[in-house]
Structure formats: C-alpha cells, structure tokens
Structure 1
C-alpha cells in the first residue's frame, strides 16, 4: 500500500501542476522543473555525404541546405515562447505543443494531419541511491524534418548524433521517418541498460539476504520495487505506440521504416517481459527476506527455549534444597552438595544429548 500511495501522490502532484483551472485546450504550461536558464537548440543537417551541425541559444538556427533532412533538437522546455515559435514554424498543432511542455504525459503516438507526435520516457538509474530518474522526450515528424524536445540540456541522443557524423550505418541514406525510428530505438536500448543495472542490484540483494540481511535491506527491496513499477507504467504503453507506428498508413512513414519499427516492437515486448520477471523476482526477494528474518528469530527463540528448558529442573532442585527445614533428609549428608552438582550436571548433559538427537541444536 505504501508504494501505491507514493505513486498516487506523484500522480496527484502531476495533475495539480498540469494546467491552470479554466485554461482552454492547447494552452502551453511547462509542468517540469527548470534545469537551465537557457534553451539550447541544435540543428543537424544531412543528405548523402553532406553533414553539418549548428547550435544556438534561445533561438532557431537557419538551415543551409534545402535538400537535407533537418533535425532540430530543443533542450530545455521552460522557454514557452521559443517552443511555440518552433511549433508554429513547422505547423505543429496547439494540442501537440501543449503535450510537449506537459512533462507528465503518458508515452503515446499521435497521428495528425500536419505530422506525427511521439512521446517517450527516458530513464537513468542511480545505483548508489537506487533511484530511477525520468525525463520526457517528444519527437515530432514532419515532411523531411524531425523535431525533438528534451527536458534537460544533456544529450540523450549522443550515439545517434555520432552515427550521423561518422556516416555509420544506413541512417544518412534514409529519410526523416527513419531518423525518428532511430531516436526511439536509442531510448529503448537504454531501457536494457537500466534493467541490467537493476538485475545486478537484485543479485547483490539476494547475496545480502542469504548472507547477513539487515533492516536496511527492506528499504533496498522497496526502492527496487518502486523503480520497476515506474518502468512498467511507462513501458507498457510503448507496445501500443510501436504497434501504431509500424501499422500506420501515414504517408510520412514509409514501409521500409515500418520493418525496423516491427523489430523495435519486439524489443519493447522483450523489455516488458523482463520488467515483469524482475517484479516477480523482487517480490520473491521480499518473501525470502521475511523468511530469513523469521528463521533468525526462530533460531533465537529456540536457543532461549533450550536454555530455559535446561534451567527449569535445575531451578527446581535448587529451590527444593534451598528450603531451611530442620528435618530435611539430605540436609546433613556429608557429600550432598557434590552429589547435587553431579545430578544437575547429569541433567544438563542428558538434556543436551536428547536435544541433539532431535536435531534441535
């Protein structure tokens, strides 16, 4: 219930900051946290052997080739005026612009007359703190152009940019739709990295539980369970997204690109299965943790019970011979003290032998 309440509180905060009361549809309100005071715009142009990259701050670079495929990468969504200017220049619908700056969107694909909007989540896993950070990425495909919008100034598409710069693979010979696919594929590939890191954490947790589980182990399991729930919540819609992406008849997406998108859909299904598997593993680790704690508690209680059981007859003997009656038969026995010690030691040895035969110790 704690995890459900935490997720619910995050959703409520998202809804609270999503839009102002009474604002009409299409109103652009940035709902994220401002990471930088400036908005960086990177323009990549390529066509065959031609490649050129430009960068600017708080303004839109002018393209230098009419034949090249254009990729505008906007980093930082707090500059509403700039993003609105970019959207208007490339014919983006007002609802699409609203979704771009609303960073609490569900991953989806919107097929519009003016273009195709794809919203995906990017993840990074902080292993020391076991925290999963999320960033929304919006990809807008129009004729011969791709617009990407990132929350932070960091480059999530460094590998795609390097492939374009070094002319590696087929990306330069393909159109804008293939670039949009490559960008989504790049984000999905990073999901595997995050899942591998979570898997390593689960392996370490299993060794810790089997070795010397502590109270802090429970919080580690809780953090990983919450991270997997967040992953599942964002990855599940990707199956629908890639399905529409691969089956659409939109003229902006060619049949050649749809073949690669189908392969991407297989990757998404594989990731979904992995997340479900590791969720089961996490639940299993929690059950194992509870069992280990219970086993240790039972071991402690067993030891205390054995000690108590041994001292019950000894306490009885000491209590009997501790009574100061004058006519006690053994009171004046010459070796009575040593005989009593012998009897008590024999009781201890006999009970220990019986406990060992029962495999209690």
Structure 2
C-alpha cells in the first residue's frame, strides 16, 4: 500500500463525506467506490431436512415457506434502492440502513427494537503488491432472518454455505442467531490467513536484509507496516463488539449461541495480540535494515581507510625519491630501485599484520 494510494483513498473519502454533509440522519448514501454491473442476491432457506437456494439479479427472491430460517446474502451496495427495499421488508431501522451503505464505519454491534446489526471488516492481502484490501460487511439478524450485505461480488461465506448444503455440524439445527455468529466467525477466521501471509512476507524481508538489503527493502517494510496498522485499526474495535455480543440481553441471541461467541472473543484477542506482535517485528526489521546499511557503510569506510593508510607512507617514499635532486646518493645506487620496492612491500606487510593484530581487518 503506497503513500500515493493512501492519499488517493483519503481524497475519495473526503469527497464522499462531503456528499453526506448536511443530510438528515437515516439518509442512505453509498460512500464506497466499488460498482457492479448487477447486484446479486442469494437466498438460502433451511428448516430440518428442507434446504433451498435461490439467486436473483437486481432483485431479491421471495421465500417459499414461512417456517424456514432465511439468509439473504447481497453482494453489491451501490444499488441503494434495492438495499432499502430488502432492509425495510424485514424491519431494518433507517439508521441501520444508513450504516450498511456507509462503508466508512468502524466495526460495531448495534441493538435495535427488532434486530441486531454487526458491522465488521473483511480483508484480503495481495502478497505480490503488498497491499491490503478492505471490504465492509454488514450482518443483520432478526427473528428467523439473517441479512448479510457486502461490497464485492466474491463469496466471503463459501465455507458457511458449504456447511449448510452438506448439513454438517450444528448450523442446520439452530436458529438465525447461530447463523449470524457463524458468518462473523467466518470473517474473523480469515484474519488468520491474512496474518499468516504478512508473517511470510516479513520472513522474506528479514532474509533479504541479512543477505543483501536493497533500496526496495525499505519500501516493503513500510508497506507491511501500513498493512498492519490498517489491520490494527479495524480489529481493535472487535473486542468491544465481541463483549457486547457475548453479554447481550437481546432475546434474538440465545444463551447457547453466546457460549460460542465467548470462544470467538478469545480468537479476536489472540488476533489482536498477533497484530501487535508483528507490528513490533516490523519496527525491529526497520531497525535491522538501518543497522545493516550502517554496518555495510562502516565496512566500506573501514576498507577505504585501511587502503588510504597503507598508501600514505608509500606516497611519502615515492614523493621523496621522485624529486630528482642531484645530491641524492640513493638515486645513483645500482640496487636502489629494488631496495625501495623491498621497503614498500615490508611496510605493507607490516601494517597489514599490525591491523590484523588489532582486529581491524
């Protein structure tokens, strides 16, 4: 994530914020920049042995039975009217609908009269470009219905969908609150994947620094540091969210589901600690990079200093006998040239031996 990309995202955020300025509470304004040609809405229905999946574009399917638990998975938020229709059909509060399309929200949990809403962030890490992409996911649970709304067309909840289709585990036998927990848990589990990818890149950077640090190494450290900073800003509020989720008195969340939420809260704490640890590792890598560059520079300067020191007495001797005065007996010696070479070589060897005894080389 380069500085230019950050500046561009800040400019886009400021522009979108100005569009909302002055609007009354509950006004739905999409503040993102992801636009899809068609909005996809997936309806999953299940009850006992009954299971059905329907898909529609720019519309939402109607349920086939009133007894089933309904899960609407909507991908794409720029179609504000469709989001509003779906939300109002199941009694979403106007403030909740506003938060769904305002993708600049911090992770949080909101309690409403007839529903509970979760706003969390999903991440994907591009190892080649060292960029962290962020997507806001809103999950609204009401009596027998779960709405999940995300920006991109990718299937964030593929594993949950597979568990429903194969009827594995307890998810088919429990209510909408457990499904909402499963969706949140699925997003949180993906944080481990992102952190593992960042850890792998940190190991590569460390190997590069120890082998041969380059100018690009500093930029990689900076990109990884920014990615970890973004993760920290988005994951830190999850502690508060999980505390509220685990201790909520809402009748829509059963005590049995809250037991699983407490385990998920432990995962969030562990992820937060990992992010903090790798931030420290990144700072340490920057210090290591600086130290390695300084060490290499000192080694170069040491070599140049030794070479200069050796040539100082040699230059003196050559300068003295290069004056060509007539009254210099050594100039007329038959073996003067060889004697001078012998003296200079002895000086070189003597100085090298002395430098080595001092452990300068």
The normalised TM-score by structure 1 is 0.96
Instruction: Measure the CA separation in 2 of the matches of 1:69 and 1:37.
Output: 29
Q: What is aligned with 2:298?
A: 298
Instruction: Measure the CA separation in 2 of the matches of 1:173 and 1:11.
Output: 45
Instruction: Measure the CA separation in 1 of the matches of 2:269 and 2:254.
Output: 23
Structure-2 change in CA distance of 1:204 and 1:149 (3 Å): same
CA deviations on 1:295-314 (whole Å, 9 max, x unpaired) are 11111111100000000000
Q: Does 1:139 find its partner at 2:109?
A: no
Q: What is aligned with 1:333?
A: 333
Question: Does the 8 Å CA contact 1:73/1:148 hold for their aligned counterparts?
Answer: yes
Q: What is aligned with 2:313?
A: 313
Q: Does 1:21 find its partner at 2:31?
A: no
Q: What is aligned with 2:169?
A: 169
After superposition, where does 1:56-75 map in structure 2 within 5 Å?
A: 56-75=56-75
CA deviations on 1:149-173 (whole Å, 9 max, x unpaired) are 0101111000000000100100011
Corresponding residue pairs, total: 360
The normalised TM-score by structure 2 is 0.96
Q: Does 1:265 find its partner at 2:265?
A: yes
Question: Does the 8 Å CA contact 2:2/2:223 hold for their aligned counterparts?
Answer: no
Instruction: Measure the CA separation in 2 of the matches of 1:312 and 1:15.
Output: 64
Question: Does the 8 Å CA contact 1:35/1:153 hold for their aligned counterparts?
Answer: no
Q: What is aligned with 2:225?
A: 225
Q: Does 1:104 find its partner at 2:87?
A: no
Instruction: Measure the CA separation in 2 of the matches of 1:204 and 1:76.
Output: 36
Residue 8 of structure 1 and its aligned partner are, at CA, apart by 7.7
Which deviates the most, 350-359 or 260-269?
Answer: 350-359
Residue 204 of structure 1 and its aligned partner are, at CA, apart by 1.2
Residue 50 of structure 1 and its aligned partner are, at CA, apart by 1.1
CA deviations on 1:24-61 (whole Å, 9 max, x unpaired) are 11111111123411111100001111110000011110
Q: Secondary structure, in 3 states, of the residue corresponding to 2:117? A: strand
Structure 2 residue ranges without an equivalent (≥5): none
Residue 342 of structure 1 and its aligned partner are, at CA, apart by 0.7
Instruction: Measure the CA separation in 2 of the matches of 1:334 and 1:11.
Output: 82
Instruction: Measure the CA separation in 2 of the matches of 1:20 and 1:267.
Output: 36
Instruction: Measure the CA separation in 1 of the matches of 2:4 and 2:133.
Output: 19
Q: What is aligned with 1:283?
A: 283
Question: Does the 8 Å CA contact 1:171/1:179 hold for their aligned counterparts?
Answer: yes
Q: Does 1:119 find its partner at 2:119?
A: yes
Question: Does the 8 Å CA contact 2:213/2:289 hold for their aligned counterparts?
Answer: yes
Q: Secondary structure, in 3 states, of the residue corresponding to 1:123? A: strand
Structure-2 change in CA distance of 1:142 and 1:89 (3 Å): same
Residue 185 of structure 1 and its aligned partner are, at CA, apart by 0.1
CA deviations on 1:61-88 (whole Å, 9 max, x unpaired) are 0100111000011111011111111111
Structure 1 residue ranges without an equivalent (≥5): none
